[in-house]
Amino acid sequence: MLASLLHFTGMIPIDFTHIDYLRSGNLRQQEAYTALSTIGIMDLLGSYMPLLAGTIPLGIDVPGSDSDILCYRTDGDGFATTLRQHFGHYKGFAIDHVQTMQGLATTACFIAHGFTIEVFGQAVPSQEQLGYRHMLVEHRLLEEHGPVFRQQIINLKISGLKTEPAFAQVLGLSGDPYQALLELE
């Protein structure tokens, strides 16, 4: 069901299960790597199988894009306590519980080293969460369609569209853009 975890950009493999690839990415990706590494978020949340998802890993982020950390949490209260303990002192820290298509999720948002970081934890393994699955599909599409396609996505995002609707518009997909992208898995 899930696309391979190892994707290729030309001849360079990208393993999205670790953030090391950001070190050799564009400037914003390098800055994200430094910020995430400095606060140690991947290690601090290690028992929750954290994965970075979203537009920064894909190089299609725009001003205001956040860093999304997906986590597999089976202990809602314990996860929330961990988030407060490690990140509660950061600017703008807020925690919430939201209902998603895959069930109840615990989210925390804060600002660290110039990046807005959103941690998203739910009782679904990180690699099976919709945000990660969407990212894998989007990565493949960006690689298949090239730089003009990438720029079209970025332009739509700058104009205010969210990522999945931007992909759906450029690809001419109808219906729910989130579901339409999953159908391309």
Give a yes or no: residue 1 inside a domain: no
Q: In whole angstroms, how far apart are CA 138 and each of 21, 103, 111, 133, 154?
A: 17, 23, 26, 9, 12
Give a yes or no: residue 101 inside a domain: yes
Give a yes or no: residue 21 inside a domain: yes
pLDDT at 12: 45
Give a yes or no: residue 26 inside a domain: yes
Give a yes or no: residue 103 inside a domain: yes
SS3 state at 1: coil
Of the candidates 184, 62, 99, 169, the one whose C-alpha atom is nearest the C-alpha of residue 134 is 184
pLDDT at 83: 97
- Indicate the number of domains in the chain: 1
User: Tokens 């969460």 identify what position?
Assistant: 129
Q: Are strands 12-15 and 6-9 parallel, antiparallel or unpaired?
A: antiparallel
What CATH number corresponds to the domain at position 164?
Answer: 3.30.460.10
Predicted model pTM: 0.89
- Contact between 2 and 135 under an 8 Å Cβ cutoff? The reply is no
The alpha carbon of 129 is separated from its chain's Cα centroid by a whole number of angstroms, namely 10
- Average pLDDT per block of 10 residues along the chain, 185 residues long: 39 77 94 96 97 96 94 91 97 94 92 96 96 95 95 97 96 95 93
* Full residue range of the structural domain in which residue 89 is found: 6-182
